[in-house]
Amino acid sequence: MNEMTPMSPVRGERQGRASSVRFQNVQKSYDGEILVVKDLNLDIASGEFLTMLGPSGSGKTTALMMLAGFEPATHGEIFVNDSPINNVPPHKRGVGMVFQNYALFPHMSVAENLAFPLKVRKLGRGDIEARVARALAMVKMESFGGRRPVQLSGGQQQRIAVARALVFEPTLVLMDEPLGALDKQLREQMQYEIKHIHENLGVTVVYVTHDQTEALTMSDRIAVFNDGRIQQLSTPDRLYEKPENSFVAQFIGENNRLSGAITEVADAICTVSVDGGPTVKATKVVPGGRGTRTTLSIRPERIELAPAKGALPVVIPGRVEELIYLGDHVRVRMSVAGTDAFVVKVPNRVGRTLEPGHETTVGWDPEDCRALDEIAA
Amino acid sequence: MSVLKLPPYASPLEKAWRVTYLVICAAILLFLIAPILIVIPLSFNAEPYFTFTRKMLSFDPAGYSMRWYDQILTFGMAAPGAPRNASWWLDVWENAKWVEAAQNSVIIGVSATLLATVLGTTAALGLSRPDMPFRRAIMGLLISPMIVPLIITATGLFFFYSETGLAHTYLGIIMAHATLGIPFVIITVTATLVGFDHSLTRAAANLGAPPPLIFFKVILPLILPGVISGALFAFVTSFDEVVVVLFVAGYDQQTLPRQMWNGIREQISPTILAVATILVIFSVALLATVELLRRRSERLRGLSPG
């Protein structure tokens, strides 16, 4: 990715010029009744790539719009570099933004689009041309300056939108589902490119998406939004491996759920009587003692099929219902503890020996099974 | 049969209907355009009549002349018989009734168009904002000059202007014509704004442009085709308006339609036909030019590919 660093002369001067962001007790309501964002508190470090992830209507885009200045906060204060920005109009915030539909000016050429923020800032002609050329080189679109946006493909428009958001060297860049309109392959490629641009420039990026893979691939930290609140704010690996509530466990990655009640607590490990029959051990996350209702969450790849005797503390019986061949692995749908939607991922080699109707056992380490808050059925 | 563009399975009845349909279409077009077209040959009449003479019908060159076109220039001149040199043309410019009327029409038309375009465009922009209260009511009010019978508007303006001292002034006529033109601008600009991507204004603000710059660099270039169409309608409205002018204008403020009106009443002369012919050609040229420019700019602005 070294050919992508024609902006590197700027890099030194830029590093340390990234902005930090702080949301403090921010609330937002459009109609004065329903809160779309409820008491948002969030610290974003300078130079961080933070992703706001959540289903539609979770308040993540509203939070971004408040940061960009397009929506006023109903309550609370937003700080950039420790200065409040609630009363700063959007055009004075100096924040770069990539819009969902790219929002390229159709009546201007690509180069004019890139020059727009520089002309507004009254830079000299030569300076503008040099910066536009550098920005085009950064997204590998050097020869496209004279084209109009309608003459570009979706992926090319996307690159220009990224270049335009960065060309005036903002210290904070917002991205609102920028890859949503691209096909899968292009999306993956752009994920890497955006990540590398972030690494090269060192700017702070606040990225909004509903695509968990995108969030896991690109982010330093992820804030999972639901119902106007941050459900969990962690690094991608912690978010996947140690979800703190059922929503996060369900929203990020695949997840087997078993409902039950806690019968015994011993430090971090609790014993849970699953509604479907067996009693198992799990890592206790949900607060409360004996009798607390809980939902157990286990990742399909952390379950072992027919483990050797004594190898795992938890082993319960199950029956193979269906095999789904997925190339590198096989998904086995099983009936376990009263549910027939229990999924185990096994390597292709092991999966071939299985057949539907096969009675076997499943086992796991209590470390990998988390007792979370109960999901209202 | 290929002329009828019918599928091969069309029944005889369908073919018959297709022919009837085309005949009806042709008849309607003829009905609309015939009164305009008939004026053109009549304006070359050698005799002072509004009908085709025997000579004209037999295409005898003696039946045709340019005398009524000449009359446009000479009518009202101090010395129409003088040799046609520079001072004769100056006389035309200063004294010919038709030339004076054309000058007034252009001054009033252009001023009213500018006023109507500025006011109508800003009104359309405001009315297109989702947070604008009473949008429908205000829209209805602004469109009303197009719906209210012209004679009522004219009477109202006459009494209002008499009280305020605007009667018999250019400003009064310009304002009255602007009122009549504003609805056209509002309608065409509103139609253009329907497809307007509002994230573009957000993007411009985000890139550092203050609101006035956003308007002139982003919004205006994109809605320009609508603005131009509206302006054209406003100009034509003013250019052929006679009722309000009759009520509001002073005696020396003759416009082309008013002069034609006078011509019909006072000196029944085919000069009117010559003027009408010139106006038809002028209108067609104006419409064609603006439409070509609009298409060209739309293509250049990348609103339509290719």
ipTM, two decimals, is 0.79
- Amino acid letter, B209: A
Domain boundaries, chain B: 101-300
Predicted local confidence at residue A206, as pLDDT = 95
Judged by CB atoms closer than 8 Å, whether chains meet at A90 and B305 is answered as: no
| Cβ contacts of B300 on chain A, cutoff 8 Å | 107
Q: How far is CA A237 from the centre of its chain?
A: 11
Question: Looking at the structure, do residues A229 and A258 belong to the same domain, yes or no?
Answer: no
Helices marked H in B149-306: 150-164, 170-194, 199-206, 211-214, 220-239, 243-248, 256-266, 271-300
The DSSP line for B122-187 is HHHHHHTSTT-TTHHHHHHHHHHHHHS-HHHHHHHHHHHHHHHT-TTSHHHHHHHHHHHHHHHHHH
**Within a domain: A194:** yes
Mean pLDDT per 10-residue section of chain A, whose length is 377 residues: 37 58 91 88 92 90 93 92 91 91 91 94 92 90 89 90 92 90 84 89 92 90 92 92 89 88 85 84 84 89 84 86 87 86 85 82 88 77
**Within a domain: A130:** no
**Within a domain: A116:** no
Specify the range with the lowest mean pLDDT, choosing from A10-19, A45-54, B133-142, B284-293: A10-19
- Amino acid letter, B115: L
Q: A59: which residues sit within 8 A by CB, 6+ positions away?
A: A28, A36, A37, A38, A40, A225, A227, A228, A229
What domain count does chain A have?
2
Predicted local confidence at residue B251, as pLDDT = 80
The conformation of residue A92, written as its DSSP 8-state character, comes to G
- Decide which of A210, A241, A272 is a domain's last residue: A241
Question: Looking at the structure, do residues A82 and A15 belong to the same domain, yes or no?
Answer: yes
Do A156 and A144 form a contact (C-beta atoms < 8 A)?
A: yes
**Within a domain: A107:** no
Instruction: For residue range B36-51, list pLDDT tens digits in order.
Output: 888 888 888 888 888 8
**Within a domain: A9:** yes
Nearest to B187 by CA among B145, B220, B215, B149: B145
Question: For residue B202, what is the nearest residue in chain A, using CA coordinates?
Answer: A70
Question: Looking at the structure, do residues A83 and A177 belong to the same domain, yes or no?
Answer: yes
Helices marked H in chain A: 8-14, 60-68, 110-120, 125-138, 154-166, 184-201, 212-218, 236-241, 246-251, 348-351
Which of A98, A100, A120 best probes binding to B when mutated, by most B CB atoms within 10 angstroms? A120
Question: Looking at the structure, do residues A83 and A225 belong to the same domain, yes or no?
Answer: yes
Judged by CB atoms closer than 8 Å, whether chains meet at A106 and B202 is answered as: no
Q: How far A112 CA sits from the closest chain B CA (Å)? A: 11
Q: B171: which residues sit within 8 A by CB, 6+ positions away?
A: none
Does any CB of chain A come closer than 8 Å to the CB of residue B303? yes
Question: Looking at the structure, do residues A290 and A321 belong to the same domain, yes or no?
Answer: yes
**Within a domain: A128:** no
Judged by CB atoms closer than 8 Å, whether chains meet at A149 and B302 is answered as: yes
For A345, the enclosing helix (H) or strand (E) is strand A339-347
For B30, the enclosing helix (H) or strand (E) is helix B12-42
Judged by CB atoms closer than 8 Å, whether chains meet at B208 and A94 is answered as: yes
Predicted local confidence at residue A2, as pLDDT = 39
**Binding-face residues of B in 215-244 toward A, CB within 8 A:** 217-218, 221-222
**Within a domain: A90:** yes
Q: What average pLDDT does range B236-256 have in this prediction?
A: 87
Q: A168: which residues sit within 8 A by CB, 6+ positions away?
A: A94, A96, A117, A118, A121, A131, B207, B208
Judged by CB atoms closer than 8 Å, whether chains meet at B199 and A99 is answered as: yes
Q: B202 vs A348, which has greater pLDDT?
A: B202
- Which domain range does residue A48 map to? 2-95+170-241
**Share above pLDDT 70 across residues of chain B, in percent, rounded to a whole number:** 96
As a whole number of Å, the CA-based R_g of chain A is 25
Which of B192, B207, B213, B217 best probes binding to A when mutated, by most A CB atoms within 10 angstroms? B207
| Cβ contacts of B210 on chain A, cutoff 8 Å | 91
Does any CB of chain A come closer than 8 Å to the CB of residue B306? no
Q: Mean pLDDT score of chain A, rounded to an integer?
A: 86
Q: Tell me if the pTM is above 0.80.
A: no
**Within a domain: A359:** yes
Question: Looking at the structure, do residues A328 and A202 belong to the same domain, yes or no?
Answer: no
d(CA A195, CA B296): 41
Question: Looking at the structure, do residues A216 and A263 belong to the same domain, yes or no?
Answer: no
- Integer CA distances (angstroms), A199 to A2, A189, A227, in order: 12, 16, 32
Question: Looking at the structure, do residues A193 and A341 belong to the same domain, yes or no?
Answer: no
B168-180 burial code (b ≥16 CB/10 A, e <16): ebeebbbbbbbbb
CATH code, domain carrying A79: 3.40.50.300
Facing B208 at nearest CB: one of A70, A91, A150: A91
- Integer CA distances (angstroms), B186 to A189, B125, B295, in order: 46, 9, 20
For residue A361, what are its two tokens? 């056992």
Question: Looking at the structure, do residues A181 and A293 belong to the same domain, yes or no?
Answer: no
| Cβ contacts of A89 on chain B, cutoff 8 Å | 205
Predicted local confidence at residue A15, as pLDDT = 46
For residue A204, what are its two tokens? 């702070």
Question: Looking at the structure, do residues A316 and A215 belong to the same domain, yes or no?
Answer: no
Facing A99 at nearest CB: one of B203, B211, B213: B203
**Binding-face residues of B in 173-202 toward A, CB within 8 A:** 197, 199-200, 202
CATH code, domain carrying A274: 2.40.50.100
- Decide which of A241, A264, A292 is a domain's last residue: A241
Does any CB of chain A come closer than 8 Å to the CB of residue B209? yes
Instruction: For residue range B93-108, list pLDDT tens digits in order.
Output: 888 888 889 999 999 9
For A318, the enclosing helix (H) or strand (E) is strand A314-325
Facing B222 at nearest CB: one of A92, A99, A107: A107
Question: Looking at the structure, do residues A185 and A209 belong to the same domain, yes or no?
Answer: yes
Question: For residue B218, what is the nearest residue in chain A, using CA coordinates?
Answer: A105
- Decide which of A214, A241, A268 is a domain's last residue: A241
Predicted local confidence at residue A7, as pLDDT = 39
Question: Looking at the structure, do residues A227 and A345 belong to the same domain, yes or no?
Answer: no
Tell me the HSE value of A149 on the side-chain side, using a 13 A CA sphere: 21
Class of domain B101-300: mainly alpha
